[in-house]
Amino acid sequence: MIQIQPIILAGGSGSRLWPVSREIYPKQLLRLTCNRSLLQSTLERVYRMDGNILPPIIVVCEEHRFVTRQQVEELGIFPEYTILLEPFDRNTGPAVCGTAEYVRLQRDETTIMLVLPSDHLISKEQEFLDAVEKAVVLAQNGRIVTFGIQPQSPETGYGYIEAGENGAVLSFREKPGIELAREYLSRENWYWNSGMFTCSVKTLQKEMANHCLRLQEHMVQAIKNGGRDGLFFRFDSVSMAGVENISIDYALMEKTECASVVLVDLDWRDVGSWQSLWEIMEKDADGNAHWGDVILESTGNCLIAAEDKLVAAVGLEDTVVVETADAVLVSSMSSVQGVKKVVEYLKAKNRDECRFHRTVFRQWGSCTVLEARELYKISRIVVNPGAGLSLQKHYHRYEHWVVVRGTARITSGKDVLLLRENHSSYVPPGVVHRLENPGTLPLEMIEIQIGAYLGEDDIVRYEDDYGSDRR
């Protein structure tokens, strides 16, 4: 019996949805449209598939491993699953290639891979399931099958497929300019490239060897030299260090002669920009989509989002305003694709706003920076029940902890203290200490750091179960 291996690609930073989406907490992990994240919605879609469906494989960046596991466990629908960890973000080409080798070793080369990006919305789920069935038949016959969507507008953020007779793919075009996108929209045989595809492991590896052998060889080594850590499997970082940053479309789909397309009407959306999010959100009578503490006056066809402060918009049309605790985006609706250039600028300047939110989620809980100045930093720390931070010391900072809610067990030198609400503790530089939550409810604390140097590299860890993801 044919086996279908769902592969969820959940890497990437979602830079076009900055400042809400950031490298450490990207769009696929956000709850943008409902009480489920985009990743969780994709996993639920896989769960409802019929047939011999194998436990899903989720490919993520190393830094997202714990929050990804947390979101899968929150669903409670998969007793088995695997998370593949990429040491570097190298786009979808290496991710798919490495995963194919992993599947070959765990299963066999006849296994059918169903590759799904984690940031798509599909309203017509039965049509999706029917399309997968058609694609699997073609994949068994040696085809690499992509899913083509009838274009609704001249979208410049999507790739396009030129379809020929009997579902053959004549050509691919990755993210054209506006004039070319309008031309494609006027033709009857050009479709949006959904980024979803199906093929056998054997076909993919044969075609990768034919068209990008060096990438194939690197990723085979990345699996061979990789290592398992429970439900995680890490690609070898040395093997991946020289791998090209390239999408599967550029690496393979534009070159292979094995490509076929299944045309589908899924009410599909790639939530890749603020405009695409505005299009699917519920709107008021003036065409505005908004959330948070927002006041609108004489404003129409806008997306206004407030996460931390009151946002008032007066006399705006076709505009995007997104406010977070540390950054504000203002853009015309037609120019939102340019947000990616802002993120590139922030990266070039090595600014934290492209990488971190004020709140950073860890395996043990979360930390929110409330205020940071030259000589002090104030943070809110939440520690999950039964969890704790590493045993550590600092050379330059003094730390003051105040328990707001819950119970804290604090190791400070040779002393072990049990603190409850409104109790506090003080840790001077050089003292080995640890913060833990021995209770059954989340522990919430206010931390005040004081010192001439407050960098995160001023930490000496003695016991560290979570590696670099632990504070």
Taking only the tens place, the pLDDT of each residue in 166-217 is 889 999 888 888 899 899 888 889 999 999 999 999 999 999 999 999 999 9
Burial of 464 (0-12, 13-18, 19+ CB in 10 A): middle
Q: Which residues are within 8 A (CB) of 201 and not within 5 positions of it... i.e. 6 or more apart?
A: 100, 103, 104, 107, 108, 109, 110, 111, 113
Residue 400: other Cβ atoms inside 10 A: 15
Q: Taking the domains of the chain in order of start, what are their residue ranges?
A: 4-270, 282-343, 359-469
Burial of 202 (0-12, 13-18, 19+ CB in 10 A): middle
SS3 180: helix
State whether CATH 3.90.550.10 applies to domain 4-270: yes
At 470 the pLDDT is 46
What pLDDT digit, counting tens, does each position of 317-362 carry? Answer: 999 999 998 999 999 999 998 999 999 999 999 998 998 888 888 8
pLDDT by residue for the chain (471 residues), tens digit each? 789 999 999 987 788 999 999 888 888 998 887 788 999 999 999 999 988 899 999 999 988 888 899 899 999 999 999 999 999 888 999 999 999 999 999 999 999 999 999 988 898 999 999 999 999 999 999 999 999 998 888 888 788 999 998 889 999 888 888 899 899 888 889 999 999 999 999 999 999 999 999 999 999 999 999 999 888 999 999 999 989 999 999 999 989 999 999 999 888 888 889 998 999 899 999 999 999 999 999 999 999 999 999 999 999 999 999 999 899 999 999 999 899 999 999 999 999 899 888 888 888 998 999 988 899 999 999 999 999 999 999 999 999 999 999 999 999 999 999 999 999 999 999 999 999 999 999 999 999 999 999 888 888 888 765 554 445
Alpha helices in 92-233 (DSSP H): 92-106, 125-140, 178-186, 201-211, 213-224
At 466 the pLDDT is 55
Name the residue type at position 357.
Answer: H
At 50 the pLDDT is 83
Sign of CA dihedral 275, 280, 286, 288: negative
* Three-state secondary structure string covering 248-310: HHHHHHCCCCCEEEEEECCCEEECCCHHHHHHHCCCCCCCCEEECCEEEECCECCEEEECCCC
Using alpha carbons, list the distances in angstroms from residue 466 to 230, 282, 391, 471: 13, 40, 12, 9
Of 333, 338, 272, 364, nearest to 66 by C-alpha is 364
CATH of domain 359-469: 2.60.120.10
At 471 the pLDDT is 54
At 284 the pLDDT is 96
